A and B are shown apart, each in its own frame.
Chain A
Amino acid sequence: MNIGVVVFPGSNCDHDCAHVFRDVLGQDVTMVWHKETSLVGLDAVILPGGFSYGDYLRTGAIARFSPVMGAVTTFAGNGGLVVGVCNGFQILLEAGLLPGAMLRNRSLHFVCKDVYVRVENAATPFTSLYTPGQILKIPIAHADGNYYTDPVTLAGLQANAQVMFRYCTADGKVTPEACPNGSLDNIAGICNAGGNVLGMMPHPERCVETVLGHEDGRALFQSMITSLEGKKLTGVR
């Protein structure tokens, strides 16, 4: 597979994402500068974490108008797999590819630590190698991860199983105390209605090798590859 990793001015997790796909999972990786207007030939696209445009105005607010985002929108509209991690998630929200918005963390602090999340939907191309309800230990590193949306949209996300990950305790209890940022309904990650665009604040690319701590994030990327290989075999795109 050929995985595109978009590079915005200020991205800083782009090489981590490339490392996972290229060196850990043995895939081809194409770094895509934000000025690009085509994603032809790519099988999936990653919007990595970082501080695109210095987080000026609002996180992701300026990056979402980068030339590449038109191509990302088309790619997603055609059913292509798109993942936004951390700042990538914020960009997807600003671009309207996912519903809602990010507020400043409830604590006002930049929070950088391992947290636990529960896999709420294991029937997507991003989570098929997890089990439903599986608890992942995964790092977060953000100041604006306090997910907010209006009550009607939230109800829709819940009803359509678009809430993918929720912050929880080590034994899987979804409690207000287990939420590191004040996110509505402990939301750590959501997908779009089509199930092909994922946004999440935790960094799965930072936990794919035991030598770097733990590897609960690896199955997310492996799930994507498995899904893409399945589609190639059946000729469906």
Chain B
Amino acid sequence: MKAKIHVTLKQGILDPQGRAIEHALDSLGFKHAANVRVGKYMELDLNQTDKAKAEVEVKAMCEKLLANTIIEEYRYELG
């Protein structure tokens, strides 16, 4: 099973990288782009066939290491 994990800064926390990219897009003429948020994407193979168990495991990974839940939020897909 493959886990695809996205980690981004929480809404409400200033994302200086996102803001810089937004300014760059604006100066390139992409006037409809707003609220750019930069994050991390990770994928990993899980040697696990039980989806419920895999979910418990991936959630624990996110809480313990992959995201810092003081400033970041995460979401994942299993498949």
**Chain A residues in the interface with B (C-beta under 8 A):** 57-58, 61-62, 65, 94, 100-101, 103-108, 148-150, 182
Contacts and interface: CB of A to CB of B under 8 A. Distances in A.
Contact of A103 (B40, B65, B71): B71
Interface residues of B, number: 12
Of residues B13, B20, B70, B71, which shows the largest number of chain A Cβ atoms within 10 Å of its Cβ? B70
Given A103-B71, A148-B70, A57 B13 contact: no
B13 A148 contact: yes
A103 B17 contact: no
Contacts, number: 34
B31 to A, nearest CB: 23
Contacts of B9: 103
Given A103-B13, A148-B13, A61 B68 contact: yes
The 7 closest A-B pairs by CB, nearest first: A101-B70, A101-B71, A108-B16, A101-B68, A104-B16, A106-B16, A148-B71
Given A57-B65, A108-B20, A182 B14 contact: yes
A57 B70 contact: no
B68 A58 contact: yes
B19 to A, nearest CB: 9
Contacts of A65: 65
Given A58-B68, A103-B13, 11 more contacts: A57-B40, A62-B65, A100-B70, A101-B70, A101-B71, A103-B71, A104-B17, A105-B16, A108-B17, A108-B20, A149-B70
- Residue with the greatest number of chain B CB neighbours at <10 A, chosen from A65, A100, A101: A101
Interface of A, secondary structure class, is loop
Contact of B16 (A57, A62, A101, A107): A107
Interface string B35-79: 000001000000000000000000000000110101100000000
Interface in B1-33: 9, 13-14, 16-17, 20
A199 to B, nearest CB: 14
A108 B40 CA distance: 17
A61 B70 contact: no
A106 B13 CA distance: 11
Contacts of B16: 103-108, 182
A65 B65 CA distance: 9
A192 to B, nearest CB: 16
B42 to A, nearest CB: 9
Contacts of B71: 101, 103, 148
B57 to A, nearest CB: 17
A104 B17 CA distance: 8
